[in-house]
Copies of this chain bind each other. A is one copy, B any other.
Protein backbone atom coordinates (compact mmCIF):
# COMPACT_ATOMS: atom_id res chain seq x y z
CA UNK A 1 0.00 0.00 0.00
CA UNK A 2 1.39 3.32 -0.97
CA UNK A 3 1.78 6.25 1.27
CA UNK A 4 -1.25 8.39 1.68
CA UNK A 5 -4.85 7.51 1.14
CA UNK A 6 -6.10 4.74 -1.05
CA UNK A 7 -8.01 6.03 -4.07
CA UNK A 8 -10.80 4.67 -6.15
CA UNK A 9 -8.17 3.61 -8.62
CA UNK A 10 -6.46 1.41 -6.08
CA UNK A 11 -9.69 -0.39 -5.47
CA UNK A 12 -10.33 -0.70 -9.17
CA UNK A 13 -6.93 -2.25 -9.80
CA UNK A 14 -7.28 -4.66 -6.95
CA UNK A 15 -10.57 -5.91 -8.35
CA UNK A 16 -9.80 -5.62 -12.02
CA UNK A 17 -12.73 -3.36 -12.68
CA UNK A 18 -12.93 0.22 -13.86
CA UNK A 19 -12.78 3.23 -11.64
CA UNK A 20 -16.29 4.23 -12.62
CA UNK A 21 -17.65 0.91 -11.48
CA UNK A 22 -16.03 1.38 -8.14
CA UNK A 23 -17.37 4.89 -7.85
CA UNK A 24 -20.87 3.72 -8.60
CA UNK A 25 -20.69 0.73 -6.35
CA UNK A 26 -19.60 2.86 -3.44
CA UNK A 27 -22.55 5.16 -3.90
CA UNK A 28 -25.07 2.36 -4.35
CA UNK A 29 -25.95 3.46 -7.80
CA UNK A 30 -28.65 1.40 -9.47
CA UNK A 31 -27.41 -0.90 -12.17
CA UNK A 32 -24.52 -2.44 -10.33
CA UNK A 33 -24.65 -6.07 -9.33
CA UNK A 34 -24.90 -6.73 -5.67
CA UNK A 35 -21.93 -8.97 -6.00
CA UNK A 36 -19.74 -6.18 -7.33
CA UNK A 37 -20.99 -3.78 -4.72
CA UNK A 38 -20.10 -6.20 -2.03
CA UNK A 39 -16.63 -6.81 -3.30
CA UNK A 40 -15.93 -3.15 -3.86
CA UNK A 41 -17.05 -2.20 -0.40
CA UNK A 42 -15.03 -4.96 1.08
CA UNK A 43 -11.84 -3.81 -0.57
CA UNK A 44 -12.63 -0.20 0.21
CA UNK A 45 -12.88 -1.15 3.83
CA UNK A 46 -9.69 -3.14 3.67
CA UNK A 47 -7.74 -0.28 2.15
CA UNK A 48 -9.34 2.24 4.49
CA UNK A 49 -10.61 4.08 1.52
CA UNK A 50 -11.93 7.57 2.15
CA UNK A 51 -13.10 9.82 -0.64
CA UNK A 52 -10.82 12.73 -1.36
CA UNK A 53 -12.83 15.78 -0.45
CA UNK A 54 -10.59 18.04 -2.49
CA UNK A 55 -11.20 16.13 -5.67
CA UNK A 56 -14.89 16.27 -4.96
CA UNK A 57 -14.72 19.99 -4.41
CA UNK A 58 -12.97 20.47 -7.69
CA UNK A 59 -15.44 18.33 -9.52
CA UNK A 60 -18.54 19.84 -7.97
CA UNK A 61 -17.35 23.35 -7.30
CA UNK A 62 -18.61 22.75 -3.78
CA UNK A 63 -16.45 22.35 -0.74
CA UNK A 64 -18.92 21.64 2.03
CA UNK A 65 -17.09 24.26 3.95
CA UNK A 66 -18.37 27.60 5.14
CA UNK A 67 -16.34 30.58 6.19
CA UNK A 68 -16.77 32.61 9.34
CA UNK A 69 -15.49 36.15 9.52
CA UNK A 70 -15.55 37.60 12.96
CA UNK A 71 -13.97 40.65 14.57
CA UNK A 72 -12.44 38.84 17.52
CA UNK A 73 -12.36 35.33 18.85
CA UNK A 74 -11.43 36.34 22.37
CA UNK A 75 -14.78 37.84 23.13
CA UNK A 76 -17.37 36.00 25.08
CA UNK A 77 -20.31 36.83 22.88
CA UNK A 78 -18.55 35.97 19.65
CA UNK A 79 -17.21 32.77 21.07
CA UNK A 80 -20.75 31.65 21.85
CA UNK A 81 -21.75 32.52 18.31
CA UNK A 82 -18.87 30.49 16.93
CA UNK A 83 -19.92 27.62 19.09
CA UNK A 84 -23.44 27.77 17.69
CA UNK A 85 -22.13 27.97 14.15
CA UNK A 86 -19.80 25.07 14.60
CA UNK A 87 -22.48 22.89 16.09
CA UNK A 88 -24.94 23.31 13.26
CA UNK A 89 -22.28 23.13 10.59
CA UNK A 90 -20.96 19.89 11.96
CA UNK A 91 -24.33 18.27 12.28
CA UNK A 92 -25.14 19.18 8.70
CA UNK A 93 -21.83 17.93 7.41
CA UNK A 94 -19.97 21.14 6.81
CA UNK A 95 -16.57 22.34 7.85
CA UNK A 96 -15.93 25.76 9.29
CA UNK A 97 -13.06 27.97 8.26
CA UNK A 98 -12.49 30.68 10.80
CA UNK A 99 -10.96 34.07 10.38
CA UNK A 100 -10.74 36.96 12.76
CA UNK A 101 -10.33 40.45 11.42
CA UNK A 102 -9.13 42.09 14.60
CA UNK A 103 -11.47 44.86 13.56
CA UNK A 104 -9.43 45.56 10.41
CA UNK A 105 -11.14 46.17 7.10
CA UNK A 106 -8.10 45.07 5.10
CA UNK A 107 -8.07 41.78 6.88
CA UNK A 108 -11.77 41.36 6.24
CA UNK A 109 -11.34 41.85 2.54
CA UNK A 110 -8.37 39.58 2.20
CA UNK A 111 -10.11 36.87 4.18
CA UNK A 112 -13.04 36.95 1.84
CA UNK A 113 -10.73 36.59 -1.11
CA UNK A 114 -8.97 33.58 0.34
CA UNK A 115 -12.28 32.01 1.13
CA UNK A 116 -13.53 32.48 -2.38
CA UNK A 117 -10.30 31.00 -3.70
CA UNK A 118 -11.06 27.97 -1.63
CA UNK A 119 -14.50 27.45 -3.06
CA UNK A 120 -16.13 28.10 0.24
CA UNK A 121 -19.83 27.44 -0.18
CA UNK A 122 -20.96 30.45 1.80
CA UNK A 123 -19.89 33.01 4.34
CA UNK A 124 -21.07 34.16 7.74
CA UNK A 125 -19.96 37.66 8.62
CA UNK A 126 -19.93 40.06 11.47
CA UNK A 127 -18.00 42.93 10.02
CA UNK A 128 -15.25 45.00 11.56
CA UNK A 129 -15.56 48.33 13.26
CA UNK A 130 -13.55 49.86 10.44
CA UNK A 131 -15.99 48.71 7.80
CA UNK A 132 -18.12 51.56 6.54
CA UNK A 133 -18.20 50.70 2.87
CA UNK A 134 -19.90 47.43 2.03
CA UNK A 135 -18.96 47.12 -1.59
CA UNK A 136 -16.99 43.94 -0.99
CA UNK A 137 -20.12 42.35 0.37
CA UNK A 138 -22.71 43.69 -2.03
CA UNK A 139 -20.63 42.52 -4.96
CA UNK A 140 -20.95 38.96 -3.71
CA UNK A 141 -24.59 39.29 -2.82
CA UNK A 142 -25.36 40.50 -6.30
CA UNK A 143 -23.58 37.51 -7.74
CA UNK A 144 -25.93 35.35 -5.72
CA UNK A 145 -23.18 34.18 -3.45
CA UNK A 146 -24.58 32.97 -0.12
CA UNK A 147 -23.79 35.33 2.73
CA UNK A 148 -25.48 35.74 6.05
CA UNK A 149 -24.62 38.59 8.38
CA UNK A 150 -24.97 38.27 12.10
CA UNK A 151 -24.96 40.72 14.97
CA UNK A 152 -23.30 43.52 13.08
CA UNK A 153 -25.39 43.75 10.00
CA UNK A 154 -25.05 46.17 7.09
CA UNK A 155 -27.84 48.22 5.65
CA UNK A 156 -27.47 47.20 2.06
CA UNK A 157 -30.00 45.74 -0.35
CA UNK A 158 -30.71 42.02 -0.25
CA UNK A 159 -28.50 41.36 2.72
CA UNK A 160 -29.67 38.41 4.76
CA UNK A 161 -29.06 38.92 8.44
CA UNK A 162 -29.64 37.71 11.93
CA UNK A 163 -29.49 40.07 14.83
CA UNK A 164 -30.85 40.56 18.28
CA UNK A 165 -33.44 43.13 19.16
CA UNK A 166 -30.95 45.69 20.35
CA UNK A 167 -33.54 48.40 20.48
CA UNK A 168 -35.87 46.53 22.73
CA UNK A 169 -33.06 45.23 24.88
CA UNK A 170 -31.77 48.74 25.47
CA UNK A 171 -35.25 50.07 25.99
CA UNK A 172 -36.07 47.46 28.58
CA UNK A 173 -32.82 47.95 30.42
CA UNK A 174 -33.20 51.70 30.57
CA UNK A 175 -36.80 51.42 31.58
CA UNK A 176 -35.81 49.08 34.36
CA UNK A 177 -33.34 51.64 35.70
CA UNK A 178 -36.00 54.32 35.61
CA UNK A 179 -38.43 52.06 37.43
CA UNK A 180 -35.82 51.64 40.10
CA UNK A 181 -35.86 55.36 40.60
CA UNK A 182 -32.68 56.31 38.78
CA UNK A 183 -32.97 59.63 37.05
CA UNK A 184 -29.65 60.69 35.60
CA UNK A 185 -28.83 57.74 33.46
CA UNK A 186 -25.70 57.75 31.38
CA UNK A 187 -25.48 55.52 28.35
CA UNK A 188 -22.03 54.17 27.65
CA UNK A 189 -22.47 53.57 23.94
CA UNK A 190 -20.58 51.41 21.49
CA UNK A 191 -18.98 52.64 18.26
CA UNK A 192 -21.59 54.88 16.74
CA UNK A 193 -21.06 53.65 13.19
CA UNK A 194 -22.39 50.24 14.12
CA UNK A 195 -26.07 49.72 13.71
CA UNK A 196 -26.24 47.78 16.95
CA UNK A 197 -24.88 50.79 18.81
CA UNK A 198 -27.36 53.09 17.16
CA UNK A 199 -30.24 50.82 18.01
CA UNK A 200 -29.19 50.63 21.61
CA UNK A 201 -28.92 54.39 21.76
CA UNK A 202 -32.37 54.66 20.27
CA UNK A 203 -33.80 52.25 22.81
CA UNK A 204 -32.18 54.19 25.61
CA UNK A 205 -33.55 57.47 24.32
CA UNK A 206 -37.06 56.24 23.75
CA UNK A 207 -37.23 54.82 27.24
CA UNK A 208 -36.28 58.21 28.62
CA UNK A 209 -38.77 60.05 26.48
CA UNK A 210 -41.64 57.75 27.21
CA UNK A 211 -40.99 58.28 30.88
CA UNK A 212 -41.16 61.99 30.39
CA UNK A 213 -37.46 62.50 30.80
CA UNK A 214 -35.16 64.61 28.70
CA UNK A 215 -32.38 63.41 26.45
CA UNK A 216 -29.08 65.06 27.12
CA UNK A 217 -26.39 64.30 24.53
CA UNK A 218 -23.75 64.73 27.21
CA UNK A 219 -25.15 61.67 28.89
CA UNK A 220 -24.48 59.51 25.84
CA UNK A 221 -20.81 58.71 25.87
CA UNK A 222 -19.04 56.62 23.30
CA UNK A 223 -16.73 53.85 24.46
CA UNK A 224 -15.24 52.84 21.16
CA UNK A 225 -12.78 50.24 22.32
CA UNK A 226 -15.08 48.47 24.72
CA UNK A 227 -12.64 47.46 27.43
CA UNK A 228 -13.26 47.89 31.12
CA UNK A 229 -10.24 50.13 31.53
CA UNK A 230 -11.43 52.48 28.81
CA UNK A 231 -14.82 52.79 30.38
CA UNK A 232 -13.34 53.13 33.84
CA UNK A 233 -11.39 56.17 32.72
CA UNK A 234 -14.33 57.66 30.91
CA UNK A 235 -16.64 57.05 33.83
CA UNK A 236 -14.44 58.59 36.46
CA UNK A 237 -14.07 61.60 34.23
CA UNK A 238 -17.77 62.16 33.70
CA UNK A 239 -18.63 61.47 37.30
CA UNK A 240 -16.91 64.76 37.95
CA UNK A 241 -17.49 66.72 34.79
CA UNK A 242 -21.21 66.34 34.25
CA UNK A 243 -23.32 69.12 35.75
CA UNK A 244 -25.54 66.64 37.55
CA UNK A 245 -23.78 63.53 38.78
CA UNK A 246 -25.11 60.44 37.00
CA UNK A 247 -26.90 57.98 39.24
CA UNK A 248 -26.99 55.13 36.75
CA UNK A 249 -25.13 53.65 33.83
CA UNK A 250 -26.56 51.61 31.04
CA UNK A 251 -23.59 50.22 29.15
CA UNK A 252 -23.67 48.84 25.66
CA UNK A 253 -21.42 45.99 26.74
CA UNK A 254 -20.60 44.23 29.98
CA UNK A 255 -16.93 45.11 30.01
CA UNK A 256 -17.86 48.76 29.88
CA UNK A 257 -20.37 48.20 32.66
CA UNK A 258 -17.70 46.67 34.83
CA UNK A 259 -15.43 49.61 34.11
CA UNK A 260 -18.15 51.94 35.25
CA UNK A 261 -18.69 49.86 38.34
CA UNK A 262 -15.02 49.98 39.23
CA UNK A 263 -14.90 53.73 38.67
CA UNK A 264 -17.92 54.26 40.91
CA UNK A 265 -16.47 52.09 43.63
CA UNK A 266 -13.25 54.05 43.41
CA UNK A 267 -15.29 57.18 44.00
CA UNK A 268 -16.81 55.60 47.05
CA UNK A 269 -20.23 55.35 45.48
CA UNK A 270 -22.33 52.43 46.62
CA UNK A 271 -23.93 50.16 44.08
CA UNK A 272 -26.88 49.86 43.69
CA UNK A 273 -27.85 52.27 46.47
CA UNK A 274 -26.25 55.32 44.91
CA UNK A 275 -25.57 54.17 41.39
CA UNK A 276 -27.39 51.59 39.30
CA UNK A 277 -25.65 49.69 36.53
CA UNK A 278 -26.88 47.52 33.70
CA UNK A 279 -24.72 45.93 31.03
CA UNK A 280 -25.34 44.20 27.75
CA UNK A 281 -24.45 40.67 26.63
CA UNK A 282 -24.60 38.74 29.87
CA UNK A 283 -21.00 37.62 29.94
CA UNK A 284 -20.14 34.80 32.25
CA UNK A 285 -18.66 37.08 34.86
CA UNK A 286 -21.92 38.94 35.48
CA UNK A 287 -22.83 36.54 38.25
CA UNK A 288 -19.32 36.45 39.58
CA UNK A 289 -18.77 40.05 40.39
CA UNK A 290 -19.95 41.90 43.41
CA UNK A 291 -22.56 43.20 43.17
CA UNK A 292 -23.71 40.87 40.45
CA UNK A 293 -24.30 42.73 37.22
CA UNK A 294 -27.70 43.08 35.65
CA UNK A 295 -27.40 42.57 31.94
CA UNK A 296 -29.31 42.15 28.73
CA UNK A 297 -28.57 38.65 27.53
CA UNK A 298 -27.97 38.06 23.88
CA UNK A 299 -28.57 34.55 22.58
CA UNK A 300 -25.17 34.17 20.94
CA UNK A 301 -25.20 30.46 20.37
CA UNK A 302 -28.71 30.60 19.03
CA UNK A 303 -27.74 33.42 16.74
CA UNK A 304 -24.85 31.42 15.35
CA UNK A 305 -27.03 28.38 14.90
CA UNK A 306 -29.81 30.32 13.21
CA UNK A 307 -27.45 32.14 10.86
CA UNK A 308 -25.77 28.89 9.92
CA UNK A 309 -29.05 27.14 9.28
CA UNK A 310 -30.11 29.95 7.00
CA UNK A 311 -26.80 29.97 5.19
CA UNK A 312 -26.84 26.23 4.63
CA UNK A 313 -30.44 26.40 3.48
CA UNK A 314 -29.44 29.01 0.94
CA UNK A 315 -26.51 26.90 -0.18
CA UNK A 316 -28.68 23.86 -0.52
CA UNK A 317 -31.37 25.85 -2.28
CA UNK A 318 -33.89 25.08 0.37
CA UNK A 319 -34.21 28.77 0.97
CA UNK A 320 -34.73 31.40 -1.66
CA UNK A 321 -33.04 34.61 -0.50
CA UNK A 322 -35.65 36.61 -2.39
CA UNK A 323 -38.40 35.40 -0.14
CA UNK A 324 -36.69 37.00 2.80
CA UNK A 325 -37.76 40.49 3.59
CA UNK A 326 -36.24 41.77 6.78
CA UNK A 327 -33.56 40.60 9.15
CA UNK A 328 -34.26 37.76 11.52
CA UNK A 329 -34.50 39.28 14.96
CA UNK A 330 -33.85 37.28 18.09
CA UNK A 331 -35.21 38.36 21.43
CA UNK A 332 -33.01 39.52 24.26
CA UNK A 333 -33.75 39.05 27.91
CA UNK A 334 -33.05 41.42 30.74
CA UNK A 335 -31.49 39.57 33.61
CA UNK A 336 -31.96 41.60 36.72
CA UNK A 337 -29.30 41.20 39.35
CA UNK A 338 -28.06 43.22 42.24
CA UNK A 339 -26.31 46.06 40.45
CA UNK A 340 -29.54 47.75 39.48
CA UNK A 341 -32.07 46.89 42.14
CA UNK A 342 -32.56 49.27 45.01
CA UNK A 343 -36.25 48.98 45.69
Contacts and interface: CB of A to CB of B under 8 A. Distances in A.
Interface of A: 3-5, 50-55, 57-58, 61, 63, 65, 72-76, 79-80, 82-83, 86, 90, 95-100, 107, 113-114, 116-119, 143, 228, 255, 258, 262, 265, 283-285, 287-290, 301
Contact of A82 (B63, B73, B116, B262): B73
Given A58-B54, A97-B65, A228-B288, A116 B79 contact: no
Could you say how many copies of this chain the assembly holds?
2
A4 B96 CA distance: 22
Contact of A73 (B3, B52, B79, B265): B79
Given A76-B74, A118-B54, A285-B289, A97 B100 contact: no
A96 B95 contact: no
Given A4-B61, A79-B73, A95 B116 contact: no
Contact of A83 (B51, B74, B83, B285): B74
Nearest to A254: B288
Nearest to A4: B61
A50 B113 contact: yes
Contacts of A4: 61
A104 B79 CA distance: 19
Contacts of A50: 113, 116-117
Contacts of A79: 73-75, 79
